[in-house]
Amino acid sequence: MEEQGFFYRDTWAEVDLDYIKENVKAIKANLPEEVDFIAVVKANAYGHGDSQTAEAALEAGASMLAVAFMDEALALRKKGVTAPVLVLGASRPEDVNIAAEEGVILTVFQEEWLAKAREVLKGDASISLHIKIDTGMGRIGIRSAEELKSIEKSIREDSRLELHGVYTHFATADELDETYFKEQLSLFKELLGTLDELPPCVHSSNSAAALMHTDAQFNAVRVGIAMYGLTPSLEIEPELPVRLNEAFTLHSRLVHVKKLEKGQKVSYGATYEAAEDIWVGTLPIGYADGWIRRLQGQEVLINGKRSPIIGRICMDQCMVRLPEEVPVGTIATLIGEQGEEMISINEIAKRLETINYEVPCIISSRVPRIYKQQGKIVDLNNSLL
C-alpha cells in the first residue's frame, strides 16, 4: 500500500486489472472463436475506471468497446483509446459530425433521426451505424419489419453511412425461465431475416446470455458485469460455466480510535448507545462517497474480523465498533478480502436490496480508484486522482 502516495485521503477503491483480463479470457474461452467480444465500459466501466478497464479488456481479446453516451465515447478517445467504440444509447443527430471525426459508432432506431443526421453530416464525412431492434425490452429500438427495412434502405442509399451492425437487448437473459428470452430471440431472428443483407456485426447477448445461451451469440457479444467478475444474477450463479473474480475492492483506514464508555452515544441523532465499554473507530468514508446511510449495520473487515458500522453514516465519515483496540491507520476493507473473511459486492447489494451492478456504480468519483497488476499497485494516470 506504500505506492498510494498520489492522493490525499485514506479511502480508496482498488481495481485488479489482472482479474478483468482473466474474466475476459475465461468468458471468451467459452465462446466460439469467431464471436467478437464487445467490452461494455459505460458508466466509467461500472465504476471501475473507463480507459483502464477498456485497455485491460482489449489486451485480453476484446475487439470493440460499448458505452451508453457520446460523452463516454469521447472520454475514451481523450484518454487515448483508439479501439472501435459503439454508443448503445440515443445520441443527438446534430452530434454525427463529432462521431464521424472521432470514429465513434452510433446506434440508430428512428427514421427522423436518420434523416436529420444525413442532413447535418458535413461534406464527405462518414459514419458507422448499428440498428437497434426492440424485441421486448421496451426501451429503445425499432419494433417492426417495415421500419427496419426503411431504415436499412436509407442507410444503404447514402454512401457516407456504413451499416456496420444490428442488435437487440434481452430483458430476462439472467433468469432461469427462458420463455421470454426465447420469444425475444425468435423475433430478433425473424426481423434479421427481413434485411436485404446482414451487416458484419450482429449481436444480442449481454453477460448472462453470452454465458448461458449459445444460440444467441451471432457474431459478437456485449459483456459488462461478468467482465468485472460479478454474476449477472443470483439465480443463474450456480449455472455459470466460468469462474469469475471480483475486480473491485474498497478500503479505508481508521483515522481515530477511542474507547466509549457504557451509555455514550455515536453519530447524528445519537441513536447508537454503547451497551458496555467498547472500542470505536472512525473511517473517512460516508454517503458522499456512495457509502450510503442504508449501509448502517453493515460490517467492514478490520484485522480479518467483521466490525459493524454503528450509528448513522455521515456525509464523509462513519464509525465502526472494533473487536479490540487497534492503531490509527489500520486498514478497513469495506468490499473485498481480509484473511479468511470476504465482503462481496453481492453482500452489499443484498443489504441495499439492489443488484450488484449498482454497487460499484454508486461509489462516487470522490473515491480514488487505484489499479493492481501482478499483485502490485500501478499508476495509470487515472484522471480521477
Ligand X SMILES: Cc1ncc(COP(=O)(O)O)c(C=O)c1O
* Residue numbers at the binding site for ligand X (CB under 6 A): 40, 88, 169, 206-208, 222-226, 232
φ and ψ of 143, to 5 deg: -115, 0
Does residue 167 have an active-site annotation?
no
Q: Decide if 25 is catalytic.
A: no
Measured from the CB atom, the residue of 12 and 170 that comes closer to ligand X is 170
- Residues contacting residue 279 through CB under 8 Å, at least 6 positions apart: 257, 258, 259, 260, 321, 322, 323, 324, 325, 326
Q: How many CB atoms lie within 10 A of CB 46?
A: 24
Residue with Cβ nearer ligand X (89 or 323): 89
Per annotation, catalytic residue among 122, 262, 265, 268: 268
- Annotated catalytic residue: which of 21, 28, 42, 132? 42
Report in angstroms how near the CB of residue 223 gets to ligand X at its nearest. Answer: 5
Which residue shows C-alpha cell 427481413? 194
Q: Which residue is nearest to ligand X (CB)?
A: 224
Taking the CA atoms of residue 158, residue 159, residue 160 and residue 166 in that order, the dihedral angle to the nearest 10 degrees is 70
Least Cβ distance, residue 24 to ligand X (angstroms): 12
Residue with cell 457474431: 219
- If the CB atoms of residues 204 and 298 are measured against ligand X, the closer one turns out to be 204
| H-helix segments, the chain | 17-29, 42-46, 50-59, 70-78, 96-102, 111-120, 145-156, 179-192, 207-212, 345-351, 358-362
Pairing of the two strands 341-343 and 305-310:
unpaired
The Cα 192–Cα 227 span in angstroms is 28
> Which triple of cell numbers denotes residue 296?
448502517
84-98 burial: b if 16+ Cβ within 10 Å, else e = bbbbbbbbebebbee
Contact 382/55 with Cβ under 8 angstroms? no
* Distance of closest approach, residue 235 Cβ to ligand X, in angstroms: 13
Least Å distance, CB 240 to ligand X, is 13
Name the minimum Å distance from CB 363 to ligand X: 17
Q: Kindly tell me which of 39 and 318 has the beta carbon lying closer to ligand X.
A: 39
CB nearer ligand X, residue 199 or residue 224: 224
Residue closer to ligand X, measured from CB, 67 or 117: 67
Alpha carbon distance 12, 377 (integer Å): 12
343 to each of 13, 129, 332, 347, 349, how far by Cα in Å? 14, 42, 11, 6, 11
Min dist CB 186 to ligand X, Å, is 19
Active site residues: 42, 268
